[in-house]
Amino acid sequence: MTDRDREGIALELIPEREGHISLKTGSGPGRIACDAESLAGAVSQRACVFCGARVVINPVADALHLIHGPIGCSTYTWDIRGSLSSGPELHRLSFSTDLREKDVIFGGEDKLYRALTELIEAHRPRGAFVYATCIAGVIGDDIKAVCARVEKENGLPVIPVQSEGFKGNKNAGYKAACHALFNLVSRGGRRDARPLSMNILGDFNLAGELWMVREYFERMGLEVVANISGDSRVEQVMRAGEAALNVVQCSGSMMHLARMMERAYGIPHLRVSYVGLDDMAGSLTRVADFFGDGKISARTRELIEGELQALEPELARYRRRLAGRVAAVYVGGAFKAVSLIRAFRSLDMQVAVVGSQTGKESDYDEIRAAADPGTVIVDDANPLELAQLMQSRGVDIFVGGVKERPVAYKLGVAFCDHNHERKRPLEGFAGMLNFAREVHDSIFSPVWRFIPRAGSGQQSAHGR
């Protein structure tokens, strides 16, 4: 980072973190250090390998999800996605083998076998996923062998998830999840592709968002074979090889699966985003163009025009109120960060700070291309950095996840939860209106009259 950049960012950094923060100056492509292990002691907001795998697979609603490890791993990730189901809700229960000192000494394979057998008998799932944790990996339990034995005895898929936490960071967990899901997909294999069919990958049905997006595709005249993994079922995932196309939203978590399916079955994939009006409309148009069917293209244009016309009057009201406000964005996946920059721009707002936990160099190239000059771009940030950036850039609202919420509130900054704990749909056309409403209501909440901005000694200007 140059002296000029450092002055522009106005941030006190741990020296080893300097390469992970960049200022878009408008000259040159710029580079940022990323896709590396978190700095010890920096209090990264990232999660572990196991957590990354758990959040991707957990929405499979009729499967048993068993964590082979200490009880703390199960507690930390219990109901972490908040994914809705239109049927069974076995995924809402958190099961653990509760490994203890005796198991560490003598091994936990027998305990895992007994737990699987008992839970399958009690809940009659359509399949099971067994997650390896750090302890299971350290003591060398053969989870694959136990899963194979239980599968043979019970006649249902029992899939090991090799998600030992010491393997890396959350990105490694995404890969472990995709290998486990492909294990299940491969049980059904490749069949003749259904015409005008697709799989939706990387949507986890938070607040029912998948149902909205799926309806759009169905209104276009397309058949959705499988949702992976929001509101999905074991048998549905096994039929995923019948689709003609995979559309991938959360590319960080699901692109590995899309590539495996393309190599094994020749199913092409498209990266899409359902966040913001431009990205939602563009994604539907690209899917329609892929199939090259005139009727589908006409329905798609009609759908987009109708949705935009219905939203614009109310959206214009929020735009007038929010124009000129400043936002900071820090989310798990870089794809979402790019979409949120565009979404804020459509509200005439500026994004002054943007970053992600798991972005790669190509992801940050996309962020830099979408961001305005003067935007601070940050990888794998910690709470101290986020707090300093919000204060120095005059941020009015911070968009992030549950771990960042207290940082914003302590500074007297409005907050919008765009992570997997949210209860209001923020995807799709209607989701953009919900997003504008939530940003508006958060910034103009009366509570800010009573909370001073940290470091200013004055009341927050939000509600004025």
Q: What is the DSSP string of 341-390?
A: HHHHHHTT-EEEEEEESS--HHHHHHHHHHSPTT-EEEES--HHHHHHHH
Per-residue pLDDT of the chain (464 residues; tens, 9 = 90+): 444 344 456 667 778 788 889 888 865 556 888 877 766 666 576 778 998 999 999 999 999 999 999 999 888 777 777 799 999 999 999 999 999 999 999 999 999 999 999 999 999 999 999 999 999 999 999 999 999 999 999 999 999 999 998 888 888 999 999 999 999 999 998 888 899 999 999 999 999 999 999 999 999 999 999 999 999 999 999 999 999 999 999 778 899 999 999 999 999 999 999 999 999 999 999 999 999 999 999 999 999 999 999 999 999 999 999 999 999 999 988 889 999 999 999 999 999 999 998 888 888 999 999 999 999 999 988 889 999 999 999 999 999 988 889 999 999 999 999 887 788 999 999 999 999 999 999 999 999 988 877 765 445 555 54
Number of alpha carbons in the 13 Å side-chain half-sphere of residue 398:
28
The pLDDT value given to residue 43: 59
Per-residue model confidence (pLDDT) at position 40: 62
Question: In the prediction, which pLDDT does 39 show?
Answer: 63
- Report the C-alpha gap between 161 and 177 in whole angstroms: 7
Residue pair 28/4 in contact (Cβ under 8 Å)? The answer is: no
Strand partners, 356: 331, 379
In the structure, how many helices (H) and strands (E) does the chain have?
Answer: 18, 14
Backbone angles phi, psi at 249, to 5 degrees: -90, -65
Q: Which two tokens stand for residue 358?
A: 């798991």
Query: For the chain, which domains are there?
Result: 3-33+316-449 (3.40.50.1980), 49-187 (3.40.50.1980), 197-300 (3.40.50.1980)
Residue 208, H or E segment:
none
* pLDDT for the residue 228: 96
Separation CA 269–CA 18 (nearest Å): 36
**What pLDDT, on the 0 to 100 scale, is given for residue 261?**
97
With H, G, I as helix, E, B as strand and everything else as coil, classify residue 424: coil
pLDDT of residue 6: 47
Using CB atoms within 10 A of its CB, is residue 255 exposed (0-12), middle (13-18) or buried (19+)? buried
Contact between residue 251 and residue 178 where contact means Cβ atoms under 8 Å apart = no
How far is the CA of 156 from the CAs of 88, 161, 274, in angstroms?
17, 16, 34
Residue 330 to residue 388: CA distance in whole angstroms: 14
Q: What is the pTM of this model?
A: 0.92
- Cα-Cα-Cα-Cα torsion 393, 25, 251, 221, nearest 10 degrees, comes to 90
Which residue type, as a one-letter code, is found at position 443?
I
Contact 307, 314 (CB under 8 A): no
Which element (helix H / strand E) includes 188? helix 170-188
